Structure 1
Amino acid sequence: MDQGVVDLSRLQFALTALYHFQFVPLTLGMTFLLAAMETVYVITGKPIYKEMTQFWGKLFGINFAIGVATGLTMEFEFGTNWSMYSHFMGDVFGAPLAIEGMMAFFLESTFVGLMFFGWNRLSRGGHLAVTYLVALGSNLSALWILVANGFMQDPVGATFNPDTMRMEFTDFAALVFSDDAQAKFVHTTIAGFVTGAMFVMGISAYYMLRRQHREFAARSFRMAALFGVISSLAVVTLGDALGRLDYLVQPTKLAAMEGIWHTTTPPAAPWTAFAIPDDVAQKNYAEINIPFVLGPLVAHSFSTAIPGIIDLEQKARVNTVRGIKAVMALHQYSEDKDPAALATFKQYEQDMGYGFLAQRYAPDQDLSKLTADNTPAVLDRAARDTIPNVFVEFWGFRMMVACGFAFVLVFAFGAYFSLRNEIEKHPWLLRASMWAIPLPIIACEYGWIVAENGRQPWTVYGWLPTYMSASSHSVGYMIFSLIGFVLLYSLFIAAELYLMFKFARLGPTDHAAPKPLEGGGPLTFSRPGYADKSWQ
């Protein structure tokens, strides 16, 4: 396989995924925020909550439509650009992908139409049920995508069949309820809740700074801030659970995230707050370390050593020796169905993927041509390949965490001052809320980079290397399709931003120019309800 084609295939899928993932978290979070607003409307009967649901639902609809458009092409990329991966994993990947399609197009999309056009055709309770079904459908749609991705991170619930050269189902429940799939699903959906809350809070802050739609904005701000405080604390907690899971399942990813080159010595194992990792020299520059933190943070123990990258490479070297035996036995079995070859393969089957890594560097990619002279070099290169890009992983993780703690603070201050009816006394916080709108999306993007870069060099961890997974296209074809996707998706983003800015500026009902900033004290809510304008 031409490495240029593999790299361009990876770049194209990475860009389309990152483009698409700008819309997904907002969709996931806005659905439940809309359901919460409409629930208050149904319980209290106050028209302002209906107006809030309809207005924020309009912005949700713009994002939902463009999110669907950017996501459709990704499913086709598995067949066009990753045909070997599709062959190898199709039996496992196809089922959750098909279920996701049913969730997205039969449940979610059907009820989205009823949610938008059923206000005057359904009862209050009926319409509220529809809104909750939209929220449920969108989040279940994410579940099945993450179940498929969870298998790529931690392949459980399937076995390799040497007769078909495919991974095949053995346990559907193990696939769906794998630790990685479930932890990533909860973490991703709650990150979406944070994104939706920050979006509503930031636009509401814009209205309050301009003295527009003041009660509408204040109530929206308060609900979003409270929703965001709970969600942001949950997403930080679940992020810690994912980090521990990486320590147990993907130690190379964890070591790269924390910049650990040498196995730590408990209990004083330091956590590296800042460093400039050098992947070639395998060392960090300009380290700032905090002792006694890494063990409890990663292993939840002071007495556990955390394996470093150099030791993990040596372990991978041993796995590669075994993997070479597995691949050679598999080739022999595929030619003559020799039972002895099958028995040898079964003995070393769990390390088959490492043999595929070595095959890339063997003469003519033929492992039988390895000799005493060239085997050590092949083993060294294959073992080095098992380590992801440490610089990207280290700083991607820290950027995600930095964004996370930033919006935790914004939500906490926003909820506190909003509950005290003092939010308009703090324009600095309103401005911070506006500027913080992109932070959850940036954090989600970095999180996706950390998850996918950290899995390299595998498409299916420990089984199928990325270099073997791509289709046999030409470099010219890949460049042409990459340019096409970048241009098309850039147009989608431009359309999204234009429509969002347009309808956000127009506001919920009053499209008049902003009123002069004159008089008036801090905003408080009047008891009679929205019809009473005494709060002005």
Structure 2
Amino acid sequence: MPDLLVADLSRWQFALTAMYHFLFVPLTLGLSMILVVMEGAYVMTGKEVWRRTTKFWMNLFGINFVLGVATGITMEFQFGTNWSYYSHYVGDVFGAPLAIEGLMAFFLEATLVGLMFFGWDKLSRPAHWMVTFFVALGSNLSALWILIANGWMQNPVGSEFNPDTMRMEVTNFMEVLFNPVAQAKFVHTVSAGYVTAAVFVLGVSAWYVLKNRHLGLAKRSMAVAASFGLLSSLSVVVLGDESGYTLTDNQKMKLAALEAMWHTEEAPAPLTLIGIPDREARETHLEVQVPWVLGLIATRSLDGEVEGILPLVAIAEDRIENGVKAYDAVARLNADPDDAEARTIFEATKRDLGYGMLLLRYTDTPSTADEETIAKAAWDTVPHVAMSFYSFRLMAGLGFLFIGVFALAFYFISLRRNVPKLFLRLAVLIIPLPWIAAELGWILAETGRQPWIIDGVLPTFLGVSSLSASQVITTMVGFTLIYGTLAVVEVSLMIKAISAGPGARLFPAGGGGSDTDELSPAAAAAPSIKFDV
């Protein structure tokens, strides 16, 4: 039987590093695209203020990019140090998107990022804009391939287990590539990154206006952030709806858990706005529901069913019993690859092999498990309901808040209305919220998949390396100290760059034009945005 303490500690360690890394990813994705927009304005107008605006936000992008790369490399090493059996079991499938990400996307952005910072005087305006565009493209392609890998963990299509090699193998790479879960996760995650960057740019610009500093930069940045952010926040909601639709066919238990829906509701199912999930009582107290909404979102119909937790647990019991047969057939084939009867049984039951492996949490011999043990293993397929339920609602609530903020910003700026001081303060105060929403999204995605490291294929507790608990604790403490230090460095550098303003030379981004903080009256002219300060 596996060491469950080591498995839990390894999960905590990976969660620590993943969530810390994801503090940098959304801003990198979104800010790179905003740089493309701002530098495009410079290419078209030739105005020095747009060049300085681009270079200022590029400095902040550089700080975030460097620390994001450093923390991302650490995560990939953990697949070998803490999750070696997982890497052995699914490396033929999971490793391919990661390798392509390194060769296609990371090398693209890493190669061109130097030209982006140091090539202002070496390249023409259009050529430098193209470099900035390809850095942004590389950043987004990195997210694509990472999320293809993660999407396969959520919905392992295009592959199957080979009892002769005892590993998962690719059967159709196109299915892996165009996995509907991966595609939905990519567009939703990237849009969330765009929202993060827009909130960041809007908030920092609002702070400059409140301090009556760098108004030319602030007004233009707010105009870009308002329009870019409004489009992005609307797309997050639309694409989030698409993500919910993909759960209906591919991750029914996750959908039932995030809705705390214990029983299958009559179609079309209602959406629970708020409630108190109770796993022991197997019901949700004080529910406030909106009729039909969940059924429409999840099934795109009025008669499609959304299955509840209890019926899905009953299905899991049947699949565990079937999986025991597959597990025994694999054991027989491992002893005698020519056992025709065992191979026939395996082919008939291989879809449920992972479910049979859930019993290894309780016994070394799944075939001896009694009904009580099978029932316990079936309930293990239910993720943490309360965490999934509240994470989704907080994330969705913040998403609608961002729509409201950007709609107001767009209204004030596009119609040349006075921008109230209260709104400017609000824009500054909400800067941390997109990161909270992004982390909640990852908590929902990853805890909602449990107990699987590969959904329906490999239980999480079986994927760990042969480590001791003390070894994992030692490295976890080390990561915490190092990442805590890096967090202080990141925030300090960001605050220093923002306080210094567009005249700071944090990165020697090339000459051409004045690097002083003051601009000529013509260069400082900005759109006619009024500020009630």
Partner Cα distance (1:113, 1:421) in 2: 38
Aligned to 2:119: 118
Displacement of 1:535: 10
Displacement of 1:510: 8.6
The answer to whether structure 1 residue 495 and structure 2 residue 478 are counterparts is no
1:507 aligned residue (498, 501, 509): 501
Given that 1:213 and 1:510 are in contact with CA atoms closer than 8 Å, whether structure 2 keeps it comes out as no
Partner Cα distance (1:281, 1:479) in 2: 35
Partner Cα distance (1:434, 1:191) in 2: 18
Q: Please give the per-residue CA displacement for 1:331-354, whole angstroms capped at 9, x wherever unaligned.
A: 011111211101101100000011
Aligned to 2:189: 188
Aligned residue runs from structure 1 range 159-308, under 5 A: 159-267=160-268, 269-308=269-308
1:445 aligned residue (430, 439, 445): 439
Q: Please give the per-residue CA displacement for 1:4-53, whole angstroms capped at 9, x wherever unaligned.
A: 10000000001110000010000000001001100011011111111111
Partner Cα distance (1:535, 1:15) in 2: 42
Partner Cα distance (1:510, 1:313) in 2: 59
Partner Cα distance (1:17, 1:444) in 2: 12
Q: Secondary structure at the match of 2:503?
A: coil
Displacement of 1:396: 0.7
Partner Cα distance (1:493, 1:280) in 2: 39
Q: Secondary structure at the match of 1:314?
A: helix
Aligned to 1:60: 61
Partner Cα distance (1:456, 1:450) in 2: 10
Partner Cα distance (2:267, 2:211) in 1: 55
Q: Secondary structure at the match of 1:289?
A: strand
Q: Secondary structure at the match of 1:276?
A: strand
Unaligned runs of 5+ in 2: 506-519
Q: Secondary structure at the match of 1:459?
A: strand
Given that 2:324 and 2:367 are in contact with CA atoms closer than 8 Å, whether structure 1 keeps it comes out as no
Given that 1:264 and 1:306 are in contact with CA atoms closer than 8 Å, whether structure 2 keeps it comes out as yes
Q: Secondary structure at the match of 1:285?
A: strand
Partner Cα distance (2:106, 2:528) in 1: 46
Aligned to 1:331: 331
Partner Cα distance (2:308, 2:462) in 1: 27
Change (3 A) 1:531 1:281: closer
Worse-matched range after superposition: 290-299 or 231-240: 290-299
Partner Cα distance (1:432, 1:13) in 2: 34
Given that 2:105 and 2:138 are in contact with CA atoms closer than 8 Å, whether structure 1 keeps it comes out as yes
Displacement of 1:305: 2.3
Query: Which amino acid counterpart does residue 324 of structure 1 have in structure 2?
Result: V
Partner Cα distance (2:184, 2:504) in 1: 43
The answer to whether structure 1 residue 367 and structure 2 residue 366 are counterparts is yes
Unaligned runs of 5+ in 1: 512-525
Partner Cα distance (2:274, 2:529) in 1: 50
Partner Cα distance (2:346, 2:499) in 1: 65
Worse-matched range after superposition: 86-95 or 279-288: 279-288
Aligned to 2:85: 84
Given that 1:414 and 1:423 are in contact with CA atoms closer than 8 Å, whether structure 2 keeps it comes out as no
Partner Cα distance (1:173, 1:265) in 2: 37
2:449 aligned residue (429, 446, 455): 455
Given that 2:416 and 2:528 are in contact with CA atoms closer than 8 Å, whether structure 1 keeps it comes out as no
Given that 2:220 and 2:526 are in contact with CA atoms closer than 8 Å, whether structure 1 keeps it comes out as no
The answer to whether structure 1 residue 418 and structure 2 residue 413 are counterparts is yes
Q: What TM-score do the two structures reach when normalised by structure 1?
A: 0.93
Displacement of 1:368: 3.6
Query: Which amino acid counterpart does residue 366 of structure 1 have in structure 2?
Result: T
The answer to whether structure 1 residue 379 and structure 2 residue 374 are counterparts is yes
Aligned to 2:460: 466
Partner Cα distance (2:522, 2:10) in 1: 60
Aligned residue runs from structure 1 range 70-149, under 5 A: 70-149=71-150
Worse-matched range after superposition: 317-326 or 296-305: 296-305
Q: Secondary structure at the match of 2:85?
A: helix
Partner Cα distance (1:533, 1:341) in 2: 75
Q: Please give the per-residue CA displacement for 1:218-252, whole angstroms capped at 9, x wherever unaligned.
A: 11001111000001100110000001111110000
Given that 1:225 and 1:411 are in contact with CA atoms closer than 8 Å, whether structure 2 keeps it comes out as yes
1:480 aligned residue (453, 458, 474): 474
Given that 1:46 and 1:530 are in contact with CA atoms closer than 8 Å, whether structure 2 keeps it comes out as no
Aligned residue runs from structure 1 range 322-361, under 5 A: 322-337=322-337, 338-361=339-362
Partner Cα distance (1:308, 1:417) in 2: 45
Displacement of 1:104: 4.8
Displacement of 1:421: 2.5
Percent identity for Structure 1 against Structure 2 = 51
Query: Which amino acid counterpart does residue 495 of structure 1 have in structure 2?
Result: V
Query: Which amino acid counterpart does residue 332 of structure 1 have in structure 2?
Result: R
Displacement of 1:288: 1.7
Aligned to 2:513: none
Q: Please give the per-residue CA displacement for 1:119-161, whole angstroms capped at 9, x wherever unaligned.
A: 0111111100100000000110111111111110111111211
Given that 2:85 and 2:462 are in contact with CA atoms closer than 8 Å, whether structure 1 keeps it comes out as yes
Displacement of 1:185: 0.9
Displacement of 1:358: 1.9
Aligned to 2:52: 51
Q: Superposition RMSD on alpha carbons, in Å?
A: 1.9
Displacement of 1:403: 1.0
Displacement of 1:527: 11
Partner Cα distance (1:473, 1:157) in 2: 31
Given that 2:497 and 2:504 are in contact with CA atoms closer than 8 Å, whether structure 1 keeps it comes out as no
Partner Cα distance (2:529, 2:251) in 1: 56
Given that 1:5 and 1:478 are in contact with CA atoms closer than 8 Å, whether structure 2 keeps it comes out as yes
Given that 1:361 and 1:381 are in contact with CA atoms closer than 8 Å, whether structure 2 keeps it comes out as no
Partner Cα distance (1:453, 1:54) in 2: 39
Query: Which amino acid counterpart does residue 243 of structure 2 have in structure 1?
Result: L
Q: Secondary structure at the match of 1:470?
A: coil
Change (3 A) 1:176 1:474: same
Given that 1:34 and 1:56 are in contact with CA atoms closer than 8 Å, whether structure 2 keeps it comes out as yes
Given that 1:407 and 1:439 are in contact with CA atoms closer than 8 Å, whether structure 2 keeps it comes out as no
Given that 1:270 and 1:292 are in contact with CA atoms closer than 8 Å, whether structure 2 keeps it comes out as yes
Displacement of 1:173: 1.6
Given that 1:353 and 1:462 are in contact with CA atoms closer than 8 Å, whether structure 2 keeps it comes out as yes
Displacement of 1:103: 3.6
The answer to whether structure 1 residue 402 and structure 2 residue 401 are counterparts is no
Q: What TM-score do the two structures reach when normalised by structure 2?
A: 0.94
Partner Cα distance (1:280, 1:353) in 2: 26
Displacement of 1:285: 2.0
Q: Secondary structure at the match of 1:508?
A: helix
Partner Cα distance (2:492, 2:439) in 1: 21
Query: Which amino acid counterpart does residue 383 of structure 2 have in structure 1?
Result: P
Partner Cα distance (1:535, 1:94) in 2: 50
Change (3 A) 1:135 1:510: closer
